[in-house]
Chains A and B, each alone.
Chain A
Amino acid sequence: MSEKKVFLQVKDLNVEYVTKQETVSAVNGVSFQLEKGKVLGLVGETGAGKTTIARSILGVLQEPPAVLKKGEILLDGRNLLKLTEEEMCSVRGEKITMIFQDPMTSLNPVMSVGKQIAEVIALHDKISKSDIRKKAEDMLETVGIPAERYDEFPHQFSGGMKQRVVIAIALACNPQLLLADEPTTALDVTIQAQVLELMQKLNQENNTTTILITHDLGVVAQMCDEVAIVYAGEIVESGTLEDIFENPVHPYTIGLFGALPKLNEDVEWLSPIDGMPPDPTNLPEGCKFSPRCPYAKEQCICSRIELKVITPGHKCRCLLEQGGN
């Protein structure tokens, strides 16, 4: 493990959203690392802080209300949080890009799709106008859209095609790190299959390191090498795909799998997780999951639980696996 080069490292990231009335602790001490070319799945429910983590890495948090309390984000050993806005600008796009959830709003409606791709290429590559157009057309073809549609506008495209255009824009400058925030949630299953296939192909061809944010465990199973389960702004369990899917240990992870209707088995009743995710303005002191956890003990409620290694690469934030049980 340690011989391989760590490409992205996030250390103790803390982000809060502060407004006059309240403070929302969105990310609470998230740390993880990722090797080059790997796909990490960031899984969690609405409001768990997945998108905030991605936005922090890209440096596009809305400040205010967001406040990055502390933490380090090292890309190839360089702390992104120490960079000036100008330096960050060149990192964004060249090294990191992000695909947002909603393809309908992340394209400019009054600019042709080809131009939108060309714009990004022109910003990062110093090549002639005709070369830019050629490259943009190539990108369209790569994502399976005929180059003749270069001059068409976003409203002439369907949802799946728009998302593919967004992917083409994201990949136009051949980024080293791709942040995909629920890239297929707004799409139909058959279109999702097309987009996932495209992302997989690009990952293999360009060796792009990818962070895939999703709540769909099926997508994770098909796409990712590593998985981190996020709950209430903390990583509660992380490991390889096999660790998490075949040998989950955190009660929340186990709960998630129990709550999921599966295609390959028949159950009369699903086993939902009781209760609701905690209020992020008023998080429990100890384990954030303890109010919903069937195994919670007094210790879980009072003391802060640390992420501990269970087997090499497989970490879990739970007393059950660390202590006597």
Chain B
Amino acid sequence: MSRLIEIQNLKKYFKTGRGMVHAVDDVTFHIEQGRTMGIVGESGCGKSTLGRMLVHLEESTGGQIIFNDEDVTQLGKNDMKKFREHAQMIFQDPYSSLDPRYTVEDSIKESLMISGKYNRTQALAKTQELMDLVGIAPRLRLSYPHELDGGRRQRVGIARALALDPEFIVCDEPVSALDVSIQAQILNLLKKLQQEHNLTYMFITHDLSVVKHISDDICVMYLGQLVETCSSHELFEKQYHPYTKALLSAIPSVDIRRKMNRIVLKGEITSPIDPKPGCRFAARCGYACEKCHEPQKLEEISPNHFVSCCRAKEINI
């Protein structure tokens, strides 16, 4: 398997009145062709910013994004247009991701027309094909978004992302606004499309059961830093980072025989403005010590399982 995307020391800082927000700080990982990378974390951990940087909706402050052996942070305007045909995004909120004055067909068709590869007839035929693919009835092609329910809108968003036959799609919480039964329809659709078109996904979510279902690999983020990454299967078997442990223990399980044995974290997520060096979880961590205030390195604790915690080995014996 080849690496489709490699992210090295990626940073994104925002300047605000109160100081520099370190939204994404020194994140390194890679995604292999045809696999799904799940990005998990709580609100404000920088997972959406990370996704937006990968499709270049946000300029990075530092670091590299290598896509098919090319650093896309350095691309010029024309190369950027080409890159966008390879990398697309599915958005979180099906209520704001579609222009209320565009019909279903217009929304899907737009990028086809802009790409210049299709004339009007071809674009319309391709739009039909895409609507078929994501399961929107042809009679809805002239409907406006406000006439559709959340599930159908999200299907339109998926069709739009697929229009230019991308290889890589960033899914930013695509199901969190949907009801359970609809959510399952969309998750199945995404999986089916991945298999049929050999797509690579980066799946951003805060819902751990969803991420377990859909992802092959998982990155856990906390306040802009990558704290743990490994295969999905392994993460739910064995976690090394104290934050990952707390996070997983906090999910309410549907198994009624297994009452929760939560590790309840004290306090709240601290501010990502001008953070001190070292582990950002230290303030809430039960195992924090002196060493935690030094910068942490991502270390391979077992094959392909990386953890950013200086005490990972100690506390997991």
Cβ of B251 and Cβ of A259 under 8 Å apart? no
Interface size range of chain A in the complex = 35 or more
**Does A242 sit within 8 A of B, measured CB to CB?**
yes
Contact A197 B254 (CB under 8 A): no
User: Residue of B at shortest CB range from A263?
Assistant: B209
Interface residues of B in 168-214 (CB under 8 A from A): 179-185, 187-188, 191, 206, 208-210, 212-214
Encoded as 1 (CB less than 8 Å from any A CB) or 0, chain B from 253 to 279 comes to 111101110101100110000000000
In the complex, the answer to whether A215 meets B208 with C-beta atoms within 8 Å is no
Contact A221 B256 (CB under 8 A): yes
List the A residue with the shortest CB-CB distance to B185: A272
On whether the beta carbons of B191 and A269 are closer than 8 Å, the reply is yes
**Assuming the A-B contacts A45-B180, A215-B180, are A189 and B254 also in contact, with contact meaning beta carbons closer than 8 angstroms in the complex?**
no
| Pair B179/A218 contact, Cβ less than 8 Å | no
- Does B246 interact with chain A (Cβ within 8 Å)? yes
Contacting residues, chain A, for B184 (C-beta < 8 A): 258-261, 270-273
Contact call A270/B254, Cβ cutoff below 8 A: no
Does B252 belong to the interface (CB within 8 Å)?
A: yes
In contact, B209 and A189 (Cβ under 8 angstroms): no
Instruction: Report which of A222, A261, A273 forms a contact with B210, defined as CB distance below 8 A.
Output: A261
Q: Is B53 an interface residue (CB 8 A)?
A: no
Q: Is the CB of A189 within 8 A of B208?
A: yes
| In the assembled complex, B102 has its CB within 8 A of some CB on chain A | no
Contacting pair A193 B262 (CB below 8 A): yes
The listed residue (B43, B181, B260) touching A222 by CB distance below 8 A is B260
**Inside 8 A of B187's CB, which chain A residues have their CB?**
261, 270
Residues of B within 8 A of A256 (CB): 180-181
Partner of B209, one of A192, A241, A262, A268: A262
- Bound complex: CA of A159 vs CA of B206, how far in Å? 16
Q: Does A1 contact B (CB under 8 A)?
A: no
Q: Does A114 contact B (CB under 8 A)?
A: no
Q: Say if the beta carbon of B250 comes within 8 Å of chain A.
A: yes
B85 within 8 A of A: no
User: In the complex where A191-B268, A261-B212 touch, is A242 in contact with B256 (Cβ < 8 A)?
Assistant: yes
> Residues of A with Cβ closer than 8 Å to B?
45-46, 158-161, 188-194, 196-197, 215-219, 221-223, 241-242, 245-246, 255-264, 267-273, 276-277
Given A193-B249, A256-B180, A261-B209, 6 new contacts (CB under 8 A): A160-B268, A192-B252, A241-B256, A260-B254, A261-B214, A263-B253
